[in-house]
Amino acid sequence: MHDIIIKDSRLEWAERQLLNCRLCPRDCGINRMSGEIGWCGAGAEASYYMEYVHYGEEPAIVPSHTIYLTGCNLRCCFCHTARERRIKPSKRLTPDRLNRIIEKGRLERARNINILGGDPTVNLPALLILFSKMPNLPPVVWNSSLYCSAEALSALQGIPDIYLTDFKFGNNQCAERLSETTGYVDVLTARIKELFVNEGADRIIIRHLVLPGHIECCTRPILDWIARHANSVSVSLKFDYLVMPWVKTDHDLKRFLSVNEIEKVKKIALNAGINVMQNESNNTWVSKKNHITATQHTEETEIVISPNGNVFLQHPAREITELLLSINENN
């Protein structure tokens, strides 16, 4: 546990953003204090629709107590939490509720609280106000797409212990078609460079979910950029793409990754000089960098088996994760 001191200047900035939102490139300028809701769907107060101790995140941070906030400024057509954000009831994240969540995580030996969504940055003003009322917090993982303004990232600086940053698309055309964003690559690469300079490589993990049919247009350019501009940053390659029902008309996204695609990406990463290690249990590669040194699981764990026999877990609880790992080791 450690103290997070939110200076008055940051709280004043947060209040200005609630009155005239400029958190991200959509620059909608809505007044959340008057009840307006922007493109992202976030309001004046942060709300969450799900929380549990997650055993399927990167090995460097698990077990990680994930807190899923409402609101997102991307519309990724392959998102596996979008439907849950729409249909699950949400609760306002108050200091009392956050303290209870932290205590639950402590009992389950969570190493951190993992703030995600949607995307947490659209709730940044409310979270700054919330954190200012908390006496202490466990290590914070900021699990974000970083499609935000430089000013928003600056306001966040120094609070997260780890920035877990999704680098989704390697070109603006795919980003616009698949997530309804403009200028995606320019925004994201600028924010990662700022993080690299201001926070240091040891506090950053870049995650890339490999999409079927997007190796050359997205994965290769992303890895090449990382090799040139952020080679000392830890990189997590995710091969656990799940086919959502609403993308079954897309020529590429309607299928799982093939074995050949997975092997090709591994070769690209190695040839680019990015040091990664394979974690077979959750179809993740995590670079060789070290970072962050029983209650009932209330979310259903969904098990998905792809045509090539890979097993994927959605909302993995400790018990089911340990069972499948044991089966894997025995085979």
- Mean pLDDT for 8-37 is 97
pLDDT at 135: 75
* In the chain, % of residues over pLDDT 70: 82
* In the chain, % of residues over pLDDT 90: 76
pLDDT at 5: 82
Task: Name the β-bridge partners of 69.
Answer: 48
DSSP helix/strand/coil, 8: helix
Quick check: 166 and 148 in contact, CB under 8 A?
Answer: no
- Dig out the tokens for 117 from the structure: 């969504």
| 234-270 residue pLDDT tens | 999 999 999 998 899 999 999 999 999 999 999 999 9
Query: Beta 64-69 vs 113-116: how paired, if at all?
Result: parallel
120-154 per-residue burial string, b: 16 or more CB within 10 A, e: under 16 = bbbbbbbbbbbbbeeeebbbbbbbbbbbbbeebbe
- Mean pLDDT for 17-38 is 97
| 211-230 residue pLDDT tens | 999 999 999 999 999 999 99
Tokens 């609760």 identify what position?
91
